Chains A and B, each alone.
Chain A
Amino acid sequence: MHDVVKTRVNDFAIKLANVNGTGSASANGLLMQAIFRMGIPVCGKNLFPSNIQGLPTWYEIRVNKRGYAARALEYDMMVAMNGQTYDRDIKELRSGGYLLYDSSWPLDPDLLRDDINYFGIPLADMCTKHFGEPRERILMKNIAYAGALCAALDIDMEIVNALLDEKYSKKKAMRDSNSKALLLGYQYAKDHYSCPMPFRLEKMDANSSKILIDGNTATALGCVYAGATVAAWYPITPATSVMDAFKSFCEEYRKDPETGKNNYLILQAEDELAAIGMVIGASWNGARSFTSTAGPGVSLMNELLGLAYYAEIPVVVIDVQRVGPSTGMPTRTQQGDILECAYASHGDTKHILLFPANPNECFHMAIQSFDLAEQFQTPVMMLSDLDIGMNDWVVPRLEWDNSYRPNRGRVLDSEGLAKIAKFQRYNNEDENFVPARTLPGVDSKGAYFVRGSGHNKNGVYTEIPAEYQEVMDRLLKKHSAAAKFVPAPLIEKREGAKFGIISIGGCDPAVREAQDVLDAQGVPADYMRIRGFPFPESVEEFLAAHPVTFIVEQNRDAQLKSLLTLETGIAKDKMKSLLFYSGFPLSSGHLVEEILKEIA
């Protein structure tokens, strides 16, 4: 046995290597949630395959008292439950780390290393002995290793028991099995090892105003609070849970207390071509409507996004990005849809994009997406990703101001129509180049024909060059005007910074941590996180103010950098790309190493 040199409290990472479909998610989630309830900053990343059963899956838990929430690259503890990946997993354990393995069998040669500690628990033996059903024997092995980890890491058993009580309040048999398995693992570890181990947990109070939530759930909640009534979608990983959550929130909050009827309608479309069409139809008709999808779905929606852009119909698209191109790696994360979404469709089109970085922003930006879509009468796409959408994040509690009212944009009712001589759809724009629209079913005076074909400012079909161009020019000005209304970039300056870092979305925790690490090494950097497109003026100012800015993003082709080059006046040699597109969430380690190399 090797000893870890010194005790580390609330600062370590563990990785759990499992077989997909064996019930490990529930044990891993339990550990994560228990640590959260101990008041300790924690982050969990589920690295799972596109598979229902049998392929390797991993879960990583990083505990960090300073609140760094990016992925770790080195692990203090490896829970090796999957023979298929022993050889890979063992390499990721740092020297002096602990390997938890099932000691029911002799140690696999693949797991042999002379610089680590072995933490064997006879999981299969104890579960075979104590449980009868074959499926239960498999499931409870996971809870048993969770019990062993509770002993090793000093996880508060009272909290774990409370969590099991909540989870299985209506399933006593499950509750009992879980308790039994948990205790088996816990007791064995206590009896055979020196627990807690040198890296362990101590209660803190960092989470009293925090929640543990995934981005897709928060997004769905945002759609409920925005007042969306019509949702259309086609099932796709990793966006499916947006609509699952929207449905369950609607069942809870949208059953009319007086009539018992549903104050929402969710349409599961035949494909994404239809899903976006449904959103357009509902929005045209005055309902707040949205779709949730991923990159392949956005590809299919391109045609009608152009129609919505040109005919000026509000549309909200939630794009939970995954790895492309084509089917790519559907259960892995990427920021690969930036350019696709910015200019989606044929002809000259430009869209409003919002980039949340965590579930809290998913909630607020979902609401803002609806406000912007209706204010500007155009598609708005919120680009989340698999990491944000499907992993549980510790974020500040969601605040709600009851005085919020949706910005429905310029809509003329009968009263408004009575005040004008003649309604012309694309005439009389406001200071943001947005004309007033009318809704079907209200007043014949407001009747007009929506068309994707060439039209003049009166909404009438045209093939006259000047008339066509007049509308297209206004649309460009309208898009630019939205720069003042999208969420402003967040800037974190550092004294003596010699260069800048620009990033987006889920890269945020890694960049913030890297900024601190660099600062500590005497390499201060300013950081700007872009949150919306069209880019507000401050983006160009930030780029201009730094001799060089690193553009950090998760795709191969530097899509954010391309967009910055196309849409700002900054020369592209002032920007250096740092690109990560393996499919796994970013770690600060990646960044620090690359930046130090670049500036050396």
Chain B
Amino acid sequence: MPSITKPIAAHPTALRNALGLTIRDYEGSMSTLCAGCGHDSITAAIIRAVWEQSIPPHLVAKLSGIGCSSKTPTYFVGGAHGFNSAHGRMPAIAAGAIAANRDLTYIGVSGDGDSLSIGLGQLCHAIRRNLHMIYVLENNGVYGLTKGQFSASADMGSKSKRGEVNRMAPIDPVRLALTLGATFVARSFSGDKEQLVPILRAAIAHRGFALIDVVSPCVTFNDHPGSTKSYLHTRRFSQHMIEADYVPKAEEIVANITSAGTTAVKMHDGSTVLFRSVPKDYDPTDRAKVSAYLDQNQNEGQILTGLLYIESDSVDLHQANDTSETPLRDLPYEKLCPGADALNALQDEYR
């Protein structure tokens, strides 16, 4: 993908994170997406979240498939390795990468075409494997690079730029993920950084697969009247269902936990996700209740956002396989090769 290198020059008074790095140290190349693209706002939120989490850039690995959204890993954390793979195949590449080195922070970026059509199978299986990664699905309901075809997330009745009406039911990644046993499910809006950054930080802290569906309007092909993924529509119908804060390990929890149904979820790294406000009878740690709530309320055309579900003590791929704590790729060959004596002994069985 085309990109333009940005000069790194931080203002002397810029804020620094625990590693002494400024937010500029977490930027990447200049975006070449259309001006006003929702994806660029998400990129900015990712940069902020990774910076705030003080993750050394080289310990981040960025992965994507193909599409407008999949271009964006070039635009954040330039000090990290990135892999812009093939259409719909990022989850498999991520699975292999995670298998090889369990110690990195994996950020996958995908779109609704990449994740819900060509790569739907791979997304489902990445969820099932509970890969320890953040999976940001930049959802605009449209194929941008091929100029405006409906994607599988286009809502029934939604109109394309050319006036066609979508007659097929959409695939909702949030409800799909809940059904498949996803351990962290969120929805947000690219224009809502206040909500998105804490969700991303919680996702980074989550040990398992963190799906974040972010409605991200396409200004060029899907921002017209009749579209249900336009800025106007999303602003009008999106509703913060859940207010959640991310509280790092070191910070004291000062929020006032008084409202009914408020929950504090301890993450495995010692941080806390603090649910400040949730609907009555809603429990973000109860999959069945979350599913039921979404089934009942989302059909009204509302776009319910927030960190919707979390299972903080889930078992990820490596735990399920009882894999070495040392990343597999760092194991010395001497530990891996059984040697000549073992081979000789073994061959006595093949006689």
In the complex, residue of chain A having the shortest beta-carbon distance to the beta carbon of B92? A277
Query: Which B residues are in CB contact (< 8 Å) with A263?
Result: 324, 328, 331, 335-336
Query: Which B residues are in CB contact (< 8 Å) with A254?
Result: 336
Contact mask for chain B residues 65-80; partner A; CB cutoff 8 A; 1 contact, 0 none = 0000000011000111
Report the Cα distance A398→B91, complex, angstroms: 38
A400 and B340 contacting across the interface, CB-CB below 8 Å? yes
Q: With A264-B328, A398-B347, A444-B57 known to touch, is A450 a contact of B82 (CB < 8 Å)?
A: yes
Does A211 lie at the interface of the complex (its beta carbon under 8 Å from any beta carbon of B)? yes
Query: Which B residues are in CB contact (< 8 Å) with A36?
Result: 351
Partner of B329 from the list A221, A225, A285 (CB cut-off 8 Å) is A285
B321 and A227 contacting across the interface, CB-CB below 8 Å? no
Does B239 lie at the interface of the complex (its beta carbon under 8 Å from any beta carbon of A)? no
In the complex, residue of chain A having the shortest beta-carbon distance to the beta carbon of B82? A449
In the complex, residue of chain B having the shortest beta-carbon distance to the beta carbon of A460? B3
Does B95 lie at the interface of the complex (its beta carbon under 8 Å from any beta carbon of A)? yes
In the complex, residue of chain B having the shortest beta-carbon distance to the beta carbon of A363? B343
A280 and B96 contacting across the interface, CB-CB below 8 Å? yes
B347 and A269 contacting across the interface, CB-CB below 8 Å? no
Does B86 lie at the interface of the complex (its beta carbon under 8 Å from any beta carbon of A)? yes
A213 and B97 contacting across the interface, CB-CB below 8 Å? no
Contact mask for chain B residues 309-331; partner A; CB cutoff 8 A; 1 contact, 0 none = 00000000110011111001111
Question: What would 24 A/B residue contacts be, using CB atoms closer than 8 Å?
Answer: A211-B347, A211-B350, A221-B343, A224-B336, A229-B328, A253-B342, A265-B328, A267-B129, A273-B92, A275-B92, A280-B96, A281-B92, A282-B329, A283-B96, A285-B100, A286-B329, A287-B328, A287-B329, A289-B96, A406-B333, A440-B61, A447-B57, A447-B82, A461-B1
In the complex, residue of chain A having the shortest beta-carbon distance to the beta carbon of B101? A285
Does A402 lie at the interface of the complex (its beta carbon under 8 Å from any beta carbon of B)? yes
14 more contacts with CB within 8 A, not counting A278-B96, A439-B329, A440-B58, are: A212-B350, A229-B329, A267-B95, A274-B91, A277-B85, A284-B96, A287-B328, A303-B89, A406-B333, A441-B61, A444-B58, A447-B79, A447-B80, A449-B82
B333 and A227 contacting across the interface, CB-CB below 8 Å? yes
Q: With A284-B93, A441-B59, A449-B82 known to touch, is A402 a contact of B340 (CB < 8 Å)?
A: yes
Contact mask for chain A residues 216-253; partner B; CB cutoff 8 A; 1 contact, 0 none = 01000100110101101000000000000000000001
Does B163 lie at the interface of the complex (its beta carbon under 8 Å from any beta carbon of A)? no
Those 3 A-B pairs whose CB atoms lie nearest each other, nearest first: A281-B96, A277-B92, A444-B79
Query: Which A residues are in CB contact (< 8 Å) with B125?
Result: 269-270, 274
Query: Which A residues are in CB contact (< 8 Å) with B83?
Result: 281, 284, 449-450
Q: With A262-B322, A440-B104 known to touch, is A282 a contact of B85 (CB < 8 Å)?
A: no
B340 and A453 contacting across the interface, CB-CB below 8 Å? no
Contact mask for chain B residues 182-200; partner A; CB cutoff 8 A; 1 contact, 0 none = 0000000000000000000
Query: Which A residues are in CB contact (< 8 Å) with B340?
Result: 399-402
Query: Which B residues are in CB contact (< 8 Å) with A521?
Result: none
Report the Cα distance A440→B86, complex, angstroms: 19
Does B50 lie at the interface of the complex (its beta carbon under 8 Å from any beta carbon of A)? no
B100 and A229 contacting across the interface, CB-CB below 8 Å? yes
State how many angstroms separate the Cβ of A553 from the closest Cβ of chain B. 29
Query: Which B residues are in CB contact (< 8 Å) with A227?
Result: 333, 336-337
Report the Cα distance A401→B337, complex, angstroms: 11
Does B2 lie at the interface of the complex (its beta carbon under 8 Å from any beta carbon of A)? yes
Does B81 lie at the interface of the complex (its beta carbon under 8 Å from any beta carbon of A)? yes
Instruction: Pick from A279, A399, A405, A451 the residue with the most CB of B within 10 Å.
Output: A451
Report the Cα distance A45→B317, complex, angstroms: 40
In the complex, residue of chain A having the shortest beta-carbon distance to the beta carbon of B348? A211
Contact mask for chain A residues 390-401; partner B; CB cutoff 8 A; 1 contact, 0 none = 000000011111
State how many angstroms separate the Cβ of B157 from the closest Cβ of chain A. 32
Query: Which A residues are in CB contact (< 8 Å) with B97?
Result: 281-282, 284-285, 440
A450 and B81 contacting across the interface, CB-CB below 8 Å? yes
Instruction: Pick from B99, B318, B330, B344 the residue with the most CB of A within 10 Å.
Output: B99
* Contact residues, A258-302 vs B (CB, 8 A): 259, 261-265, 267, 269-271, 273-287, 289
Report the Cα distance A278→B96, complex, angstroms: 4
State how many angstroms separate the Cβ of A458 from the closest Cβ of chain B. 11
Q: With A439-B329, A441-B58, A450-B83 known to touch, is A282 a contact of B347 (CB < 8 Å)?
A: no
Partner of A277 from the list B74, B80, B96 (CB cut-off 8 Å) is B96
In the complex, residue of chain A having the shortest beta-carbon distance to the beta carbon of B29? A449
Partner of B89 from the list A217, A304, A401 (CB cut-off 8 Å) is A304
B96 and A267 contacting across the interface, CB-CB below 8 Å? yes
Query: Which B residues are in CB contact (< 8 Å) with A404?
Result: 337
Contact mask for chain A residues 424-454; partner B; CB cutoff 8 A; 1 contact, 0 none = 0000000000000011111110111111110
Query: Which B residues are in CB contact (< 8 Å) with A271?
Result: 121
Report the Cα distance A444→B114, complex, angstroms: 28
State how many angstroms separate the Cβ of B37 from the closest Cβ of chain A. 18
In the complex, residue of chain B having the shortest beta-carbon distance to the beta carbon of A217? B350
In the complex, residue of chain B having the shortest beta-carbon distance to the beta carbon of A231? B99
Does A256 lie at the interface of the complex (its beta carbon under 8 Å from any beta carbon of B)? yes
Number of interface residues of B (CB under 8 A): 63
Report the Cα distance A253→B342, complex, angstroms: 9
A281 and B99 contacting across the interface, CB-CB below 8 Å? yes
Query: Which A residues are in CB contact (< 8 Å) with B351?
Result: 36-37, 207, 211-212
Q: With A263-B331, A447-B78, A452-B84 known to touch, is A442 a contact of B58 (CB < 8 Å)?
A: yes
A449 and B100 contacting across the interface, CB-CB below 8 Å? no
Instruction: Name B residues whose Cβ lies closer than 8 Å to a Cβ of A.
Output: 1-3, 57-59, 61, 63, 73-74, 78-86, 89, 91-101, 103-104, 121-122, 124-125, 129, 317-318, 321-325, 328-331, 333, 335-340, 342-344, 346-347, 350-351
* Contact residues, A499-540 vs B (CB, 8 A): none
In the complex, residue of chain B having the shortest beta-carbon distance to the beta carbon of A403? B340
Query: Which B residues are in CB contact (< 8 Å) with A471?
Result: none
Partner of B93 from the list A280, A406, A442 (CB cut-off 8 Å) is A280
Partner of A448 from the list B81, B100, B101, B336 (CB cut-off 8 Å) is B81
Partner of B325 from the list A259, A438, A451 (CB cut-off 8 Å) is A259
Partner of A440 from the list B81, B344, B346 (CB cut-off 8 Å) is B81
Q: With A262-B324, A274-B122 known to touch, is A398 a contact of B343 (CB < 8 Å)?
A: yes
Does A372 lie at the interface of the complex (its beta carbon under 8 Å from any beta carbon of B)? no
A282 and B96 contacting across the interface, CB-CB below 8 Å? yes
Does A31 lie at the interface of the complex (its beta carbon under 8 Å from any beta carbon of B)? no
Query: Which A residues are in CB contact (< 8 Å) with B93?
Result: 277-278, 280-281, 284
* Contact residues, A453-475 vs B (CB, 8 A): 453, 460-461, 463
Query: Which A residues are in CB contact (< 8 Å) with B347?
Result: 211, 397-398
In the complex, residue of chain B having the shortest beta-carbon distance to the beta carbon of A449? B82
B81 and A303 contacting across the interface, CB-CB below 8 Å? no
Report the Cα distance A261→B321, complex, angstroms: 9
* Contact residues, A464-499 vs B (CB, 8 A): none
Query: Which B residues are in CB contact (< 8 Å) with A261?
Result: 322-325
State how many angstroms separate the Cβ of A479 from the closest Cβ of chain B. 21
B339 and A402 contacting across the interface, CB-CB below 8 Å? yes
Report the Cα distance A597→B210, complex, angstroms: 68
State how many angstroms separate the Cβ of A454 from the closest Cβ of chain B. 10
A307 and B85 contacting across the interface, CB-CB below 8 Å? yes
In the complex, residue of chain A having the shortest beta-carbon distance to the beta carbon of B84? A451
B84 and A287 contacting across the interface, CB-CB below 8 Å? no
Report the Cα distance A283→B83, complex, angstroms: 12
Report the Cα distance A265→B101, complex, angstroms: 11
Report the Cα distance A259→B322, complex, angstroms: 10
Instruction: Pick from A269, A400, A440 the residue with the most CB of B within 10 Å.
Output: A440
Report the Cα distance A279→B321, complex, angstroms: 17
A282 and B99 contacting across the interface, CB-CB below 8 Å? yes
Partner of B101 from the list A270, A279, A441 (CB cut-off 8 Å) is A441
A447 and B58 contacting across the interface, CB-CB below 8 Å? yes
State how many angstroms separate the Cβ of A281 from the closest Cβ of chain B. 3
B343 and A400 contacting across the interface, CB-CB below 8 Å? yes
Partner of A265 from the list B84, B85, B99, B337 (CB cut-off 8 Å) is B99
Instruction: Pick from B81, B82, B343, B347 the residue with the most CB of A within 10 Å.
Output: B81
Report the Cα distance A287→B100, complex, angstroms: 5
